[in-house]
Each structure stands twice: as structure tokens, then as C-alpha cells.
Structure 1
Amino acid sequence: MRPGDILVIYRTKDNKGPAEYRSVVTSVCVVEEMKPKNHFNNFKHFYDYCRNYSIFSQAELSQWYNHSENIYTIKMTYNAALNKRLTRGKLIEEIGIERNAYAGFMKLTDDQFRQICRKGGINESLIID
């Protein structure tokens, strides 16, 4: 990933039913900066950078920092929420996402991105090609 890349945020299942019906695309963001773990001198430096923006607790950030070598922080701008959230099933059946692909992180085609925005009800004036 690089600054300027567009991310489609995907919320994984909530254990209340199958992912096909419970996991959804929620929003669109743009990458502002990305930093690898080795950019930070220690956990405090990492935590100070993350804490005001992260959705994760200090304990979760500590776990990842101390037990994972290949982690990155991604600072992103939240651009738009989908008015209609698309389930994993719709992503597979209507958008053409591979059923066996890892949904947590995958590259989308330009057409898949446009379809997600259109079917998700994002105002087209917010999307710049």
C-alpha cells in the first residue's frame, strides 16, 4: 500500500450467523501513511503514534507489537460510509469477489470498487477516477 490508495473497510462476522450474511463492507478510506514496525524505536513510540487514532486497546496493540514482526500501521482518512452495507454473499454473487479469497485484505479491480460504491449508495460525486 501507498499513500493515496483507496481502502474498502470490511467488518468480519459477529458470530451471530454465517459470514455470507453477517460480514459487510462498511466504508471507504484513503491511505495517508504507512509505517513498518521497525520505524518505531520501542512500544511506547509505537503506542504514542497509534493511541489517538486506533480502534484497538493498548493491550491489543502491545500483543501485536511484541509478538509480530511483520506489522504495519496505516493512517487513513475516512471518506464515506456506505448507505447500504454489502454482505459477503453479495460481494461474491454480485461484485465478483472470489469465494475462497481472504476477505480481510485483497486487491479489488476498478470495476469491483465502482460496483461496491454504486450498490452501497455512495454519492458518485465523492468518487474521483
Structure 2
Amino acid sequence: MLLIYRTTDGLGPAHHRSVATSVCVVEEARSIHSFASRDAFLGYCRPYSVFTEQELSRFWSNKRYPHIIRFTYNIALKKRITRGALIENFGLDANAYWGFLPLTHTQFINIIKSGGVHESLVIH
């Protein structure tokens, strides 16, 4: 399971503007190092990516983001949960790297419930 987190829009502090938005299901995870070539990497990522081919090529060249995750969008949170609430109400670490942050099962369930998603809609 993935909980998608949108970073701040720049209109105010991230504590109030960054939000959890939706739930996705991981279909496959790979290392960027598992691809034999740039073309193989682009062929795998391009059809599903929000990134441009130029951005993907840059990722391939510098290997800065080594985790490639293919996922399916599942459901939007009816109520978006702010970074502040994720820290204060659900115990997420304010000092952690929020680009990819593990959640406990309890945190995940409580966040989706708080976001207005009925637990029965998410298989876990």
C-alpha cells in the first residue's frame, strides 16, 4: 500500500499545505540498477510515468532515485490530511525524509479512516 503525499504548493507553511491525498497499491518495485540499459529503463517507465523523457533520462544518468515503483491508483482521501496532522495525530517523524516514509499498519488504517475512506474499500 502507498499513501500519496503532495508537498506544499508554496502558498503557506508545509505543516499546513502538504497533504496526504490518496491510496495506491504497489504492483511492482524494482531497482534502477536492475535495468540493463537506459532504453530498457525508459521502456519500462515512460508509459506510466508523470516524468518527462528528459527527466527520466536524468534519473537514469545520475541514479539519484534508485527505487522504481509501479502502482495502481486506488482511492482518493475525501479529507486530505495535512503534514501537521500526520505528525501530531498519527506520530510521523517530522525530521524524517518524507519522499518515502514507512507507516505502521495502525498509522495507515487511522490515516485512511481520518481521510474519510472506509477501511473495507482498501484490502490490506
Same structural fold, with TM-score higher than 0.5 when normalized by the shorter chain:
yes
Q: What are the ranges of 5 or more consecutive residues in structure 2 without an aligned counterpart? A: none
Shift of 1:9: 0.8
Q: 2:105 and 2:74 mapped to 1: Cα distance?
A: 17
Q: Deviations over 1:69-128 (max 9, x none)?
A: 661211112111111110101111111112212222111111111111101011222123
Runs of 4+ in 1 over 3 A off after TM superposition: none
Counterparts of residues 1-129 of structure 1 (less than 5 Å): 6-68=1-63, 71-129=66-124
CA separation of 1:38 and 1:89: change in aligned 2, threshold 3 A:
same
Q: CA RMSD in A?
A: 1.5
Work out whether residues 81 and 115 of structure 2, in 8 Å CA contact, stay in contact via their aligned partners in 1: yes
Aligned residues with identical type, % of pairs? 50
**Mapped partners of 1:100, 1:40: distance in 2:** 32
One-letter identity of the residue aligned with 2:42 = Y
**What is the identity, as a one-letter code, of the residue corresponding to 2:112?**
C
Question: How far does the alpha carbon of each residue in 1:27-82 deviate from its partner, in whole angstroms, 9 at most, with x for none?
Answer: 11111111212322221111111111001111111111001266121111211111
Select between 59-68 and 95-104 the one with higher mean Cα deviation: 95-104
Aligned residues: 124
